[in-house]
Amino acid sequence: MVLGSNVGDRLSYLKKACQCLKNLLPLNFQVSPVFETAPWGVRHQKGYYNLAVSATTTYGPFQLLNLFRKLERQYGRKTKGDYKPRTLDIDIILLGDVVITSEQLTIPHRNMHERKFVLAPINCISPAAMHPIYQKNIADLLKQCSDNGKIIQLNDRIFSN
């Protein structure tokens, strides 16, 4: 999953969300460094802080979606829809070899291969993770990504694995 925040104390939202996620998904829990990125698809918004989280889970995809939406609301997310500012955004990017296409959820995330702000953090913790449709790993998808948006890795990790 990839977490993002571009409203308020972005680092604090990400730290608190990581702690909650570690409590929910304690097995093989890993967190990438934080990346600062420009907002995707819009202008005139504060930049995002993004990070990736990887964990082993027994939750199903829709259970995860519901847990993540609840967590987003808990941390003040009020806006709905794409490209809106948000205190916390949690996207399920990959879930092993699961492929789902529905109105509520698409796994793998439909645009993950086109977005460095998704690929770069995941590459830090799971470079060998495979895209189940394209059959390419994250490291290769990142090398081939044509996204030229600005992305800066911050020096410190905000959450120790």
The residues annotated as belonging to the active site are 77, 86, 89, 91
User: Of 110, 115, 121, 120, nearest to 149 (Cα)?
Assistant: 115
User: Of 108, 132, 112, nearest to 123 (Cα)?
Assistant: 112
Please give the angle made by the CA atoms of 144, 99 and 118, to the nearest 5 degrees.
40
63, 69 contact by CB (below 8 A): no
What does each C-alpha distance from 158 to 5, 19, 32, 33, 154 come to in angstroms?
14, 11, 9, 7, 10
Residue 127 DSSP SS3: coil
